[in-house]
Structure 1
Amino acid sequence: MRESIKPAFTGRGAPLRQYEYLVITVGSGEPVPIAYQRLREHAEYGKWELERSTLYLGGQRKYLMRRKVLRVERTLTVY
Structure 2
Amino acid sequence: MVADTSSGPRSSPPEQYEYRVLTLPRETSRSEARRLLTEHAEYGHWELARVRLYLGGHRRVWLRRRIIRVARTS
Compare CA radii of gyration and give the structure with the larger one: 2
Q: Which amino acid aligns with 1:33?
A: S
Counterpart for residue 27 of structure 1:
25
Task: Measure the CA separation in 1 of the matches of 2:24 and 2:51.
Answer: 11
| TM-score normalised by L of structure 2 | 0.73
Task: Measure the CA separation in 2 of the matches of 1:59 and 1:33.
Answer: 16
1:24 is displaced (CA, Å) by 0.9
User: Could you tell me the percent identity over the aligned residues?
Assistant: 49
Counterpart for residue 48 of structure 2:
50
Counterpart for residue 66 of structure 1:
64
Greater fraction of residues in strand: 1
| TM-score normalised by L of structure 1 | 0.69
Unaligned runs of 5+ in 1: 1-15
Q: How big is the alpha-carbon RMSD for the aligned residues of Structure 1 and Structure 2?
A: 1.6
